[in-house]
Amino acid sequence: MENKAIKITADSLYFYYQRQPVLENISTQFAEHCITAIVGPSGTGKSTFLTTLNRLWESIPGAKMEGKVEIRFEGQFRDIYHKSFCVNRLRRLVGMVFQIPNPLPMSIFKNIAFPLKLAGYKDKQVIAEKAEQALKRAYLWEEVKDRLEQDALALSGGQQQRLCIARSLVLEPEVLLLDEPTSSLDAKAGQVIEELLLGLKERCTIVMVSHYMDQVRRIADTVIELPAIRKQKQL
């Protein structure tokens, strides 16, 4: 880790959910092009911590955060909570994949193209190319290339999760946040995703919450353990 550049720094983060402290004085750094695993017993705010890196917690009622998060974009550290930083742009640069696969109820292709549509892409040729590229990076292209117009919800759980990863990759984010991406899948589907993440290291900085210590040993370059500050689970 020492010889790799720092991509994200979080400085004295405090997080409250309905006035209950979830994170207390967390300061940590994430190296570029590494897989950093966040571990710890449940209820220590690991998932919450991920949402402070793409400001997604702001859409959750009752949540409150203090502290500073800086991410290096184009060689410069930027405070992602600064007024001048557009939150939609941030979320295009910092992708997120959830614990339970969440494809939208539309076709496979429309799912992949959805972030492009949100970002205002109009050219069908460009959209098709980017979608194909993202599906290839998520190891899904071979399985779905002949049925892109089919309903995404008809895919298996593992395929749905890879679709969600592809959907996050389509905008070529610099950071990818994953919240226990394999916990709802069987061992084999989980293994495919692990391999895929190892392959993605070259392009993105990956921050992953994981419960499985053997998974962490297999793929993580760095491990961060969040200290337990509460007795019971809040979020």
Q: Are 208 and 37 in contact (CB under 8 A)?
A: yes
Q: Three-class SS string for 24-93?
A: EEEEEEEECCCEEEEECCCCCCHHHHHHHHCCHHHHCCCEEEEEEEEEEECCEEEECCCCCCCHHHHHHH
State which residue, 37 or 113, has the beta carbon closest to other proteins.
113
Residue closer to other proteins by CB (options 6, 171) is: 171
Question: Residue 185 corresponds to which tokens in the numbers above?
Answer: 């899948």
Shortest spacing between CB 4 and other proteins, in angstroms: 26
| Interstrand relation of 20-31 and 94-97 (parallel, antiparallel or unpaired) | unpaired
- Taking the complex as a whole, the smallest distance from the CB of residue 97 to other proteins amounts, in Å, to 9
- Decide whether 140 or 216 has the Cβ nearer to other proteins: 140
* Cβ at position 96, least distance to other proteins in Å: 4
Instruction: Give me the least distance between CB of 182 and other proteins, in Å please.
Output: 17
The HSE-up count of residue 30 (CA atoms within 13 Å, CB side) is: 33
Taking the least distance from each CB to other proteins, the nearer of 75 and 105 is: 105
Structure-token pair, residue 235: 């979020």
Q: What is the CA radius of gyration of the chain?
A: 17
Q: Report the alpha-carbon distance of residue 13 to residue 227 in Å, rounded.
A: 13
Q: CB 91 → other proteins: shortest distance, Å?
A: 4
Q: Enumerate binding residues for other proteins (CB under 8 A).
A: 54, 56, 59-60, 88-89, 91-92, 95-96, 98, 100, 102, 104-107, 110, 114-115, 117-119, 151, 167-168, 171
Cβ closest to other proteins, residue 107 vs residue 159: 107
Place of tokens 């109820």: 105
- Strands 35-39 and 222-225: what pairing? parallel
Nearer to other proteins, 176 or 226 (CB): 176
Give the integer Cα–Cα distance in Å for 173 and 204. 7
Q: How far is the CB of 217 from other proteins (least distance, A)?
A: 28
Taking the least distance from each CB to other proteins, the nearer of 26 and 56 is 56
- CB 163 to other proteins: min, Å: 12
Q: How far is CA 121 from CA 22, 137, 138, 190, in A?
A: 38, 20, 21, 32
